[in-house]
Amino acid sequence: MKICIIGNGLTSLTLAKTLVNQGIYVDIYYKNNEYTQNKIRTIGISKSNTDFFNQNILDIQKLCWNINKIEIYNENLNLEKILKFENFDKSLFSIIRNDDLFNYLHQELKKNKLFRLKKKVKEEEIIIKKYDLVFNCDSNNELSKKLFFKKIDKNYKSFAYATIIHHKKINNNNIAIQIFTKNGPFAFLPISRTETSIVYSIKNRSNLNLEEHINIFNSKYNDKCIINKIDKPIKFKLKSLNLRSYHYKNVLAFGDNLHKLHPLAGQGFNMSLRDIKDILELIKFRKKLGLPLDNSIFFDFEKKIKHKNYIFSKSIDFIYEYFNFENKLNNTFLSKSVQLLGRNKLFNNTFKKIADQGLIF
């Protein structure tokens, strides 16, 4: 059994490590400089996905900075808190630097005799004939253009700006803060006692003085620390998409090629991890029954999770549009409604569970 993965990003390497752990030969094909490591980018991984990662893929606990409380504010309510989620006996999710996780996965895969990293040739059709199954994680190659062009996509006409602020030591820097500003969501995501990641998704602004906006919304930190340094920010366009069809014969679209989300809830990589978990369950089930791992596994995968991924991605989009609509109305009724709902224990626990595990039905 040989599997090919096209693409060399975090999802590709995570999937590859999952498969080789099952005794499956995996080749990754990649372009030169396909994955540009950046020390600015960070990802959030939910508690259930962190546990899955540690138990089935690779122990990443040493890379994690645990978050045990989330506070959500709204600029329309003069930065009044509208929601709070906390769990002091265990973390809600963890923040990891992209390049730390990429390097760790890459180093561990290179030690495995079942894994090979190859430069990608232009003719993807030749590649796919050599393998039993192909996971296509590259949305810009010819396979994606020919086989996976039918999609439901959305351009938010926004840019996400990301940086890291370096500040004086905060012993309890374990609270993530999300502010729904009039121009878009602004997140403070701690990654150590002296560093906090910033992600600001702002509408119609291809040029931005991020430091100026950090100072505006930095009231939660001003009374605790002094910022020593702000790294040079990076930016990227914001889009969402869901493919209409997940697979064709022995090729499955995967990762960001399958679905993209607005970053306001930090669920993009979490969705891919849940997809990997479902793939792993299907593989283990077939191996247990002595069945071959052929392309019918892709049919079962799509049937199992396509509707859940679509509903979940639309729910993230709904949250974005909900607060965007309030800004257009120029009132605070919607935020106050959310604030009231947040006081309900059942709503609060249900929201935490969905954010942690995704949709379960």
Q: What is the CATH number of the domain that holds 124?
A: 3.50.50.60
Q: Total structural domains in the chain?
A: 1
The answer to whether the CB of 40 falls within 8 A of the CB of 162 is yes
pLDDT tens digits in sequence order for the chain, 361 residues long:
889 999 889 999 999 999 999 999 999 998 765 555 578 899 999 999 999 999 999 999 999 999 999 999 988 887 888 889 987 677 899 999 999 999 999 999 999 999 998 876 666 667 788 899 999 998 888 888 888 989 999 999 999 999 999 999 988 899 999 999 988 899 999 999 999 999 999 987 778 888 888 888 876 656 556 888 999 999 989 999 999 999 999 999 999 999 999 888 889 999 999 999 999 999 999 999 988 889 999 999 999 999 999 999 999 998 888 888 877 777 777 788 888 888 888 888 888 888 888 876 5
Q: How far apart are CA 17 and CA 106, in angstroms?
A: 9
**Relative orientation angle of helices 333-342 and 345-357, to the nearest 10 degrees:** 90
Task: For residue 16, give the 3-state DSSP assignment.
Answer: helix
Type of residue found at 270: N
pTM reported for the whole predicted model: 0.92
Q: How far apart are CA 259 and CA 254, in angstroms?
A: 8
Q: What strand order describes the sheet that includes 25-30?
A: 115-119, 25-30, 2-6, 133-136, 251-253, 247-248
Backbone φ and ψ of 341, nearest 5°: -65, -35
Q: Which domain holds residue 260?
A: 2-357
CA distance readout (Å), 29 to 75, 121, 132, 172, 355:
46, 8, 15, 42, 32
Pairing of strands 42-46, 65-67: unpaired
The answer to whether the CB of 240 falls within 8 A of the CB of 156 is yes
Q: How far apart are CA 101 and CA 44, in angstroms?
A: 12
Structure tokens given for 307: 């509707």
First to last CA, the chain: 32
Alpha helices in the chain (DSSP H): 10-20, 47-56, 98-110, 124-128, 142-147, 210-216, 219-222, 268-289, 296-329, 333-342, 345-357
